[in-house]
C-alpha cells in the first residue's frame, strides 16, 4: 500500500459475475482503488480471480454469502487486516436473487429466501461494516435496487410479458427503506443499474454491463450528503417511490 497516497477502499458482494464483476473490473483500472470483492465460492470465481494478475495487490477476494448470516458476521475479521487504518469508503450492496412469480402464486420459502438475500443480508452487512465506514472519509452505502421496487412505476413493466417478479419487487421495495439510516454523516442511496444483460437481466435487456457500470460509478463517486436518501437510476435521475 502506498504511503504517499491514501487508497480508496470499496467492498462489493456478488462479484463473481454480472454487475458486481464489472464494477470490480472498472474500479481496478484506477490503482488508487483498493477493492474487496465478496462472492459465495471464491475458488470457483474464475473471471474474478482472473483480474488479480493485473491488479498489483489492489484486489482482495473474500468469501461472502449475503444469504448466510454467519458469513456476514465473519466479514469484519476478514477485511480488518486488508484495510488497516484507511477505513472503508464505499459499501456497494450488490448481491441479489430474483425469480418469476406473482402475489397469488409465490412460494413462501422462495419469498423468505429472497428477503433474506436481497433485504436482510444487506442490512446486516451494513451493520458489520459500520466500524470501517466510520474510519472512511466518504462513508457511502449504495444499495443496488431496481425500478421494479418502485410502487409508482410498477405498471410500466406490464409490457415485458414475464410472469411477474413479486418477491423480487417486494424485497427491493423493502431494501429502499434501508436508506433511512439514523446516521446523517452516512451518504446512503438506492441505485437502479437499469435493465442489464446479465444472467438475471437476460440478453433481451437494454444495457451492456460496462455501459451500466460506468454510469453507476459516476453517480456513486459524485453523490453528496444532499443525495442521501434518494432513489436514483444509473444515470442519476430520481425514481419515484
Q: 1-10, 25-34, 60-69, 140-149: lowest mean pLDDT where?
A: 1-10
For position 177, what pLDDT does the model report? 86
pLDDT value, residue 209: 92
Residue 55 parent element (H or E):
none
Q: Superfamily assignment of 8-233 in CATH? A: NAD(P)-binding Rossmann-like Domain (3.40.50.720)
User: Given a cut of 90, is residue 1 above it in pLDDT?
Assistant: no
Closest CA to 232 of 198, 194, 196, 201: 194
Q: Mean of the pLDDT values across residues 22-30?
A: 97
pLDDT of residue 195: 81
3-class DSSP state for residue 5?
Answer: coil
pLDDT over 70 for what percent of the chain? 90
Compare 241 and 26 and report the one with higher pLDDT.
Answer: 26
Q: Is the pLDDT of residue 161 over 50?
A: no
Span 194-205, mean pLDDT? 71
Q: What is the pLDDT of residues 119-149, one digit of tens each?
A: 999 999 999 999 999 999 999 999 999 999 9
* 207 backbone dihedrals φ, ψ, rounded to 5°: -115, 145
What pLDDT is recorded for position 2? 41
Greater model confidence, 178 or 101: 101
Task: Find the DSSP H helices in 51-120.
Answer: 69-73, 75-83, 108-115
pLDDT band with cut points at 50, 70 and 90 for residue 117: very high
CB contact set of 215 (below 8 Å; sequence gap of 6+): 234, 235, 236
Of all helices (H) and strands (E), which one includes residue 23? helix 18-27
The predicted structure's pLDDT at residue 175: 93
Q: What is the pTM of this model?
A: 0.92
What confidence tier does 15 reach under pLDDT thresholds 50, 70, 90?
very high
- In this model, does residue 66 exceed pLDDT 70? yes
Summarize the confidence of residues 188-205 as an average pLDDT.
79
Distances, alpha carbon 132 to alpha carbons 20, 85, 110, 226, 234, in Å: 21, 9, 33, 22, 26
Q: What is the pLDDT of residue 135?
A: 96
Cα–Cα distances in angstroms (integers) from residue 231 to residues 68, 143, 150, 158, 199, in the given order: 27, 9, 9, 21, 24
Confidence label for 159 from pLDDT (cuts 50, 70 and 90): very low
Closest CA to 89 of 186, 229, 226: 186
> DSSP letters along 111-177, please?
HHHHHIIIIIHHHHHHHHHHHHHHH-SS-EEEEE--GGG-TTTGGGGGGG----BHHHHHHHHHHHG
* Domain map (residue ranges) of the chain: 8-233
Amino acid at each position: 500500500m502506498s504511503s504517499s497516497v491514501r487508497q480508496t477502499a470499496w467492498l462489493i458482494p456478488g462479484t463473481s459475475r454480472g454487475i458486481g464483476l464489472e464494477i470490480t473490473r472498472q474500479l481496478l483500472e484506477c490503482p488508487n482503488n483498493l477493492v474487496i470483492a465478496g462472492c459465495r465460492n471464491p475458488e470457483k470465481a474464475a473471471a474474478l480471480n482472473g483480474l488479480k494478475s493485473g491488479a498489483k495487490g489492489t484486489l482482495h477476494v473474500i468469501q461472502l454469502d449475503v444469504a448466510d448470516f454467519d458469513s456476514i458476521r465473519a466479514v469484519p475479521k476478514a477485511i480488518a487486516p486488508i484495510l488497516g487504518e484507511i477505513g472503508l469508503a464505499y459499501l456497494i450492496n450488490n448481491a441479489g436473487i430474483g425469480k418469476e412469480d406473482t402475489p397469488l402464486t409465490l412460494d413462501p420459502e422462495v419469498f423468505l429466501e429472497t428477503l433474506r438475500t436481497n433485504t436482510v443480508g444487506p442490512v446486516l452487512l451494513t451493520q458489520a461494516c459500520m466500524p470501517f465506514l466510520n474510519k472512511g472519509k466518504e462513508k457511502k452505502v449504495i444499495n443496488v435496487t431496481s425500478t421494479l421496487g418502485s410502487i409508482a412505476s410498477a405498471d410500466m413493466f406490464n409490457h415485458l410479458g414475464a410472469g411477474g417478479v413479486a418477491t423480487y419487487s417486494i424485497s427491493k421495495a423493502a431494501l429502499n427503506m434501508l436508506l433511512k439510516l439514523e446516521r446523517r454523516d452516512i451518504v446512503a442511496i438506492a441505485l437502479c443499474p437499469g435493465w442489464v444483460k446479465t444472467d438475471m437481466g437476460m440478453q433481451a435487456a437494454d444495457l451492456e454491463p460496462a455501459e451500466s457500470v460506468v454510469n453507476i460509478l459516476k453517480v456513486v463517486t459524485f453523490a453528496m450528503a444532499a443525495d442521501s436518501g434518494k432513489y436514483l437510476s444509473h444515470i442519476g435521475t430520481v425514481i419515484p417511490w
